[in-house]
Amino acid sequence: MNEATTWIDLTGKSAHVTGGARGIGAEIARVLTMAGADVMLSDVNIDGVRATADEIGASAMALDVSDPNAVEAAMRETVEQLGSLDILVNNAGLVTGYSGALADITNDMWDKLWSVNIGGLFYCTRAAVPYMKENGWGRIINISSTLGKTPGAGVTYDGSKAAISQMTRTLALELTRHNINVNALAPGPIWVQDTEPPEITGQIPPATGHPLADNTASRIARLPAGRWGQPKDVAKAALFLASELGDFISGAYLPVDGGWLTL
């Protein structure tokens, strides 16, 4: 092992990944575990998160990130079970069924999305930071989205993801002096279904007449990478920020988007 390979070694570090039952969170947890970290996965889907944790050799717990008391208890339990809490990945997020065209967004959809995407990030960060301060070392990785920069999913989701990039900078200003780096990853289109992703052909589908859907479809068709992203693409970037490679990076907004934001 030369010095460069030790930079991604997370042996001795403990991580908590929210929304880890499936998709991007599950893959981030897998990669952090591969790098040597002890990982706690949490999710509202307890059966799903247990199955994922068993498969990757991590621990699991039930957690609804929008419940501040449950979040406090979950971070405490993470430290009790793993011995410390060094890395927090704020991944849990809602989109389908909670965003869309303005007229279709109910009060309940609005409240629920913001309580998970933004409330959850705030509660988890507030509960985890004291343990990181105690260690004198911490990493917080917030999962934003390129839709926080370019509109596509609707005002609830896009607005919440834009808020995450500013919350990341504000938290970085406050916490970096405690050796706690705070960064945001902004995934582009990541295929999280169990099926194979459709091919990107360059053919823009016929317009639906709805500006959100048409913007998204046209960007996907023209994506410079020419393929859908995979959860592993995001997990590699998370490892970069969680490890020694990210020692002097704080307050960053890193797109993992196959060039989406160049369009």
Ligand X SMILES: NC(=O)c1ccc[n+]([C@@H]2O[C@H](COP(=O)([O-])OP(=O)(O)OC[C@H]3O[C@@H](n4cnc5c(N)ncnc54)[C@H](O)[C@@H]3O)[C@@H](O)[C@H]2O)c1
Residues that bind ligand X in the complex, under the rule CB under 6 A: 18-19, 21-25, 43-45, 63-66, 91-95, 116, 143, 145, 187, 189-190, 192
Angle between helices 23-34 and 46-56 (to 10 degrees): 30
User: Among candidates 157, 140, 158, which has minimal Cα distance to 148?
Assistant: 158
Tell the smallest beta-carbon distance from residue 30 to ligand X (Å): 13
Between residues 116 and 132, which has the closer beta carbon with respect to ligand X?
Answer: 116
Tell the smallest beta-carbon distance from residue 219 to ligand X (Å): 12
Between residues 135 and 215, which has the closer beta carbon with respect to ligand X?
Answer: 215
Answer for the pair 131, 79: CB distance below 8 angstroms, yes or no: yes
Between residues 2 and 107, which has the closer beta carbon with respect to ligand X?
Answer: 107
Give the whole-angstrom CA distance, residue 11 versus residue 9.
Answer: 6
Which residue has 């893959």 as its token pair? 27
Between residues 3 and 194, which has the closer beta carbon with respect to ligand X?
Answer: 194
Give the whole-angstrom CA distance, residue 142 versus residue 19.
Answer: 12
Tell the smallest beta-carbon distance from residue 234 to ligand X (Å): 7
137, with CB counted inside 10 A (0-12, 13-18, 19+), is middle
Between residues 64 and 214, which has the closer beta carbon with respect to ligand X?
Answer: 64
Which residues are CB-contacts of 187 (< 8 A; sequence separation ≥ 6)? 24, 143, 145, 146, 229, 233, 234, 255, 256, 257
- Tell me whether residue 131 is one of the annotated catalytic residues: no
Tell the smallest beta-carbon distance from residue 21 to ligand X (Å): 4
Choose the catalytic residue: 98, 123, 131, 157.
Answer: 157
Residues 105-121, buried b or exposed e (16+ Cβ, 10 A)? beeebeebbbbbbbbbb
Tell the smallest beta-carbon distance from residue 178 to ligand X (Å): 25
Give the whole-angstrom CA distance, residue 180 versus residue 125.
Answer: 11
Q: Which helix (H) or strand (E) holds 134?
A: helix 120-135
- Among all residues, which ones are annotated catalytic? 157
